[in-house]
Structure 1
Amino acid sequence: MTSPVRVALLGCGTVGSDVVRLLHEQSADLAARIGAPLEIAGIAVRRVGRDRGDLPVDPALFTTDPLGLIKRDDVDIVVEVVGGIEPARGWLVEALRAGKSVVTANKALLAEDGATLHDAAAEGGADLYYEASVAGAIPLLRPLRESLHGDRINRVTGIVNGTTNFILSAMDATGAGFAEALEEATELGYAEADPTADVEGFDAAAKAAILASLAFHTRVTAADVHREGITEVTAADVASAKAMGCTIKLLCIAARNTDPAGRESVSVRVHPAMIPLTHPLASVGDAFNAVFVEAEAAGQLMFYGRGAGGAPTASAVLGDVVAVARNRLAGVHAASESAYADLAVRPMGEALTRYHISLDVADRPGVLEAVAGVFARHEVSIATVRQGPAGGGPAGRGEDAELVIVTHVAPDAALAATVRALRGLEIVRSVTSVLRVEGGA
Structure 2
Amino acid sequence: MTNSGEPIKVALLGCGTVGTEVVRLLREQADDLTARIGAPVELVGIAVRRPHKHTDVPAELLTTDAAALVAGEADVIVEVIGGIDPARGLLTSALREGKAVVTANKALLAEHGGELFAAADASGADLYFEAAVAGAIPLLRPLRESLAGDRITRVMGIVNGTTNYILSAMDATGSGYGETLEEASRLGYAEADPTADVDGFDAAAKAAILASLSFHTRVTASDVYREGIASVTASDIAAASLLGRTVKLLAICERVLGEDGTESVSVRVHPAMIPRTHQLASVNGAFNAVYVEAEAAGQLMFYGPGAGGAPTASAVLGDLVAVARNKVLGGRGPRESAYADLPVRPMGETLTAYHISLDVDDQPGVLTQVAAMFAEHGVSIAAVRQEGREGESKAASLVVVTHMAPDEALRSTVDKIAGLPIVREVAAVMRVEGEQL
> TM above 0.5, one fold?
yes
Match of 1:415 in 2: 410
> Does the alignment pair 1:425 with 2:420?
yes
SS at match of 1:75: coil
Residue 71 (1) aligns with residue 71 (2): yes
TM-score with structure 2 setting the length: 0.98
The residue number in structure 2 matching 1:103 is 102
TM-fit CA distance, 1:3 = 1.0
Which residue among 20, 25, 28 is the counterpart of 1:25?
A: 28
Instruction: Show the counterpart of 2:250.
Output: 251
Matched-pair identity in %: 68
Equivalent residue letter for 1:403: L
Quote how far apart the aligned CAs of 1:253 are. Answer: 0.2
Please list the CA deviations of residues 30-68 of structure 1 after superposition, one character each: whole Å capped at 9, or x if unmatched. 11000011110100000122243xx3x431111000010
Give the Cα separation in 2 of the matches to 1:259 and 1:230: 30
Q: What amino acid maps onto 1:156 in structure 2?
A: V
1:336 is displaced (CA, Å) by 1.0
Corresponding residue for residue 142 of structure 1? 141
1:62 is the counterpart of 2:57: no
What is residue 341 of structure 2 aligned with on the other side? 342
1:41 aligns to what?
44
Tell me the equivalent position of 1:316: 315
**Secondary structure of the equivalent of 1:399?**
strand
1:7 corresponds to 2:6: no
Provide the secondary structure at the position in 2 that maps to 1:135. coil
Q: Which residue matches 1:402?
A: 397
- After TM superposition, the structure 1 = structure 2 runs for residues 209-358 of structure 1, keeping only pairs within 5 Å, are 209-358=208-357
In the TM superposition, residue 245 of structure 1 has moved relative to its aligned partner by: 0.5
Task: Give the C-alpha shift of residue 97 in structure 1.
Answer: 0.3
Q: Which whole-Å CA distance do the structure 2 matches of 1:50 and 1:261 have between them?
A: 60
Offset of 1:398 from its aligned partner? 2.2
CA distance in 1, matches of 2:414, 2:325: 56
Provide the rounded CA distance (Å) in 1 between the counterparts of 2:52 and 2:244: 55
TM-score under structure 1 length normalisation: 0.97
Structure 2 counterpart of 1:23, which letter?
L
Q: Matches of 1:182 and 1:137 in 2, distance apart?
A: 25
Give the letter for the 2:66 counterpart: P
Distance 1:31 1:67 in 2: 28
Cα distance in 2 for partners of 1:68, 1:251 equals 41
Q: Deviations over 1:199-250 (max 9, x none)?
A: 0000000000000000000000000000000000011110110111000000
Structure 2 unaligned regions, length at least 5? none
Q: Any idea what SS the aligned residue of 1:82 has?
A: coil
1:329, 1:264 → 2: CA distance?
A: 41
Task: State how far apart, in whole Å, the 2-side matches of 1:352 and 1:112 are.
Answer: 26
Q: Distance in 2 between matches of 1:332 and 1:193?
A: 43
Moved over 6 A (4+): none
Q: CA deviation at 1:163?
A: 0.2
Distance in 2, matches of 1:58 and 1:399, equals 73
Give the conservation status (yes or no) of the 8 Å contact 2:145–2:334: no
Tell me the matched-pair count.
433
**Secondary structure at 1:398 match in 2:** strand
Residue 294 of structure 1 aligns to a residue whose secondary structure is: strand
Matched to 2:383, the amino acid is T
Distance 1:103 1:195 in 2: 26
Which position in structure 1 is the counterpart of 2:189? Answer: 190
Match of 1:210, as an amino acid?
I
Amino acid at match of 1:216: F
Shift of 1:7: 0.3
Residue identity opposite 1:386 in structure 2: R
| 1:374 to 2:377 alignment | no
